Amino acid sequence: MRAAARSVIGAGPGAPRALPILASALAGLLLGAGVTMAIAPAPLEREPVPGRGLTNVATTPAAPDTFLAWTPGGLPDGFRHALAELPGIRRAVVVRSDVAWLTGSRSETGELVDRPPAGFAYPLEVASVKPGEYACFVPPADRGTLTLLAEGGGILGASSARLRGLGPGAVLEFGATRVPVVAVWPDELVGANELLVSRDLGWSLGVRRDRYALVQPRGVPSVRELARLLFAGPPRD
């Protein structure tokens, strides 16, 4: 596993071929403003004091602590394991995303809601994560729900739930695999996907491409510093 990680980050044999791939991934390193806004408390608003004019107050924008690393077409093979070995990373989760094929859905009472004609299926954008790793990137009140993913449950995004007329207790059918809906979350908490499941369940549904990583580094580095940290890779033995 370590050897595979090193081939990606350029610390072992085959590094010259892998460097352009990782450089492309790091070129997509962006500030995860949407994620940060989703997990940070709302800013306080100042109300004007009656009888007084507005006072100019010097403010400093809060430094983001969550970053998004991505590259078009998905992260390089081995990126997840390489990321886990970097000493400057406090927390990280790699999110898989792909299209799964929905063959039916049922309401919380078991009634058939939708089923495509025989031989057809509906495309559904599905993301998969390790629940324990993803928990640090969602609001504390929602973290307990993630434990249900390990039991085979799924979390619908709000837009998908409205489109399909489904809610908690409904069941999604992917051929012989049935996924109970354990919650409906805002779209930003499921990465703008339609359904969030565990990595194990996602694999059985055909979700196998690592699309992006959410990263919380130690300290408060700039985007450029974080890119250098990721590019350096784990220390040599």
In this prediction, residue 75 carries a pLDDT of 86
Given this model, what pLDDT does residue 229 score? 64
Provide the pLDDT for residue 99.
97
Q: Tens digit of pLDDT for each residue in 108-127?
A: 999 999 999 999 999 999 99
In DSSP terms, which residues pair with 96 in a beta bridge?
Answer: 128, 210
224 or 102: which leads in pLDDT? 102
Q: Supply the pTM of this predicted model.
A: 0.72
pLDDT band per the 50, 70, 90 thresholds, residue 1: very low
pLDDT at 31: 40
Higher pLDDT, 39 or 235: 235
Cα–Cα dist 192/126, whole Å = 10
Distances (CA, A) of 236 to 11, 12, 231, 233: 7, 9, 14, 9
**Residues contacting 233, CB < 8 A, separation 6+:** 5, 6, 9, 10, 11, 82, 85, 86
pLDDT tens for each residue of 169-199:
999 999 999 999 999 999 999 999 999 999 9
